[in-house]
């Protein structure tokens, strides 16, 4: 047997990454295999932290399992699509219709399908910086180019509309927004959303709106579905059960096509082909969607003052901003903080250097901001799903590490 032979591979993936489960995650798994406990603040997965789906959702899946043995329609179970349409209409998206809703194995699959259906080689998509890194990777995987626009930390991480406008070219096909935002926790202002719609309309662009966290908002912040503000621009709105309904493992997501659908018939034909090729999304998860959308909305209890997510968000924010050299914009939504660290104060090279040292020395796992395509190397993302005591332990470990690395202490030791 020729053991020297090496198989070729797809080199277009060489520059793609997904830092949430990248090298630093692999390093954490190695530490865990060695018998150490790692505080995992790297991924928005509610179940390991004691967030359960509702009894109604469990019952809906159990009672429909017999009906879920075969393939569904490639766009999804009709009653689930009708439930999504009704839910969106109640949120102000009057043009939402079940015939233009596609169900998928989570939003992740639908993002990949969108880019495959939309992009030719070299086409550009405007993606926020920082972003959820799947968006950038999906554009690249489809042969396109992700052009990152600024989300302004000084403006509560709202998109910089002037920067978006300056980066539109004759190759631009779409504008991505993530609202509420992962990783920054921003909830976008209505006026900013309207300006983005105006740009899209003026240049004939599609708006791709990731709204998976639309019910997770705090302290009076209001989420505006961007499709509710304009009924002419083609908008794709992505949602699902993984965050609002704590059902990440059910892999039940949707994308709704609203606005000027007739102008995108070829694109829609491609979507139809890709949906057909994967046959259908997992059917048991689809049958949970109506129960989730029409049942009691437990998420409102979690995000209200005194609710678990609200209290954990406040605790994490207060603990981290109390550490000298760290500052942070307080989140208005989602499950994350995106603090900035003063690297010079601690003699650290960049955000990856900080993240690796924190993991190796304190066994705390988080993701550096560069993994979210941030335009600097000074940020990191913290998931605040763990109980407050675990968050406190993580903050104490972080503070101890940074105290050891402070330039002042290093200088004193050198005297």
Query: Taking all residues of the chain, what is their mean pLDDT, rounded to a whole number?
Result: 93
Q: Which segments of 146-250 does DSSP mark as H helices, in order?
A: 161-166, 190-203
pLDDT range class, residue 2, cuts 50, 70, 90: low
Per-residue pLDDT reduced to its tens digit, 279-319 = 999 999 999 999 999 999 999 999 999 999 999 999 999 99
Residues in the chain: 415
pLDDT, tens digit, 9 for 90 and up, residues 54-87: 999 999 999 999 999 999 999 999 999 999 999 9
86 vs 1, 59, 77, 214, 295, CA distance in Å?
Answer: 61, 22, 15, 16, 13
* C-alpha closest to that of 142 among 281, 280, 13, 239: 13
Kind of pairing between the strands at 172-178 and 124-129? parallel
Domains of the chain: 14-43+304-414 (3.90.1150.10), 55-294 (3.40.640.10)
Task: Give pTM, 2 decimals.
Answer: 0.92
Please tell me the distance from the alpha carbon of residue 116 to that of residue 99, in angstroms, as a whole number.
21
What stretches of 142-243 show up as alpha helix (H) in DSSP?
161-166, 190-203
pLDDT for 409 equals 63
Question: How does pLDDT run across 158-172, given as a tens digit for each residue?
Answer: 999 999 999 999 999
Structure confidence at residue 168 (pLDDT): 98
Q: Are 237 and 256 in contact (CB under 8 A)?
A: yes
């Amino acid at each position: 047997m020729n053991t020297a032979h090496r198989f070729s591979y797809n080199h277009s993936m060489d520059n793609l990454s997904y830092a949430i489960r990248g090298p630093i995650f692999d390093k954490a798994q190695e530490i865990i295999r060695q018998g150490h406990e790692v505080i995992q603040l790297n991924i928005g997965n509610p179940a390991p932290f004691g967030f359960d789906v509702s009894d109604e959702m469990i019952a809906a899946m159990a009672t429909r399992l017999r009906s879920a043995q075969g393939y569904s329609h490639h766009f999804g179970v009709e009653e689930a699509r009708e439930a999504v349409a009704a839910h969106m209409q109640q949120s102000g998206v009057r043009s939402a219709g079940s015939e233009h809703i596609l169900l998928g194995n989570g939003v992740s699959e639908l993002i990949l399908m969108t880019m495959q259906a939309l992009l030719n080689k070299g086409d550009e998509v405007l993606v926020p910086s920082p972003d959820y890194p799947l968006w950038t990777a999906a554009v690249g995987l489809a042969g396109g180019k992700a052009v990152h626009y600024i989300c302004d930390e000084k403006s509560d991480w709202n998109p910089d509309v002037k920067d978006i406008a300056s980066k539109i070219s004759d190759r631009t096909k779409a504008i991505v927004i993530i609202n509420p935002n992962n990783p920054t926790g921003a909830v976008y202002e209505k006026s900013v959303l309207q300006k983005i719609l105006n740009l899209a309309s003026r240049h004939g662009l599609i708006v791709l709106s990731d709204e998976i966290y639309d019910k997770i908002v705090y302290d009076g912040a209001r989420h505006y579905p961007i499709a509710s503000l304009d009924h002419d621009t083609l908008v794709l709105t992505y949602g699902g059960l993984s965050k609002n309904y704590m059902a990440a493992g059910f892999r039940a997501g949707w994308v709704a096509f609203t606005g000027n659908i007739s102008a995108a018939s070829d694109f829609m034909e491609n979507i139809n082909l890709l949906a057909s090729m994967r046959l259908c999304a997992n059917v048991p998860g689809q049958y949970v969607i109506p129960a989730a959308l029409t049942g009691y909305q437990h998420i409102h209890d979690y995000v209200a003052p005194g609710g678990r997510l609200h209290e954990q968000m406040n605790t994490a924010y207060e603990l981290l901003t109390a550490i000298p050299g760290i500052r942070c914009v307080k989140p208005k939504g989602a499950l994350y903080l995106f603090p900035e660290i003063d690297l010079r104060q601690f003699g650290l090279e960049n955000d990856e250097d900080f993240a690796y040292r924190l993991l190796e020395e304190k066994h705390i796992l988080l993701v550096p901001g560069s993994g979210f395509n941030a335009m600097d190397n000074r940020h990191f993302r913290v998931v605040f799903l763990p109980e407050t005591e675990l968050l406190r332990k993580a903050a104490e470990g972080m503070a101890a590490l940074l105290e050891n690395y402070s330039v002042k202490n290093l200088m004193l030791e050198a005297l």
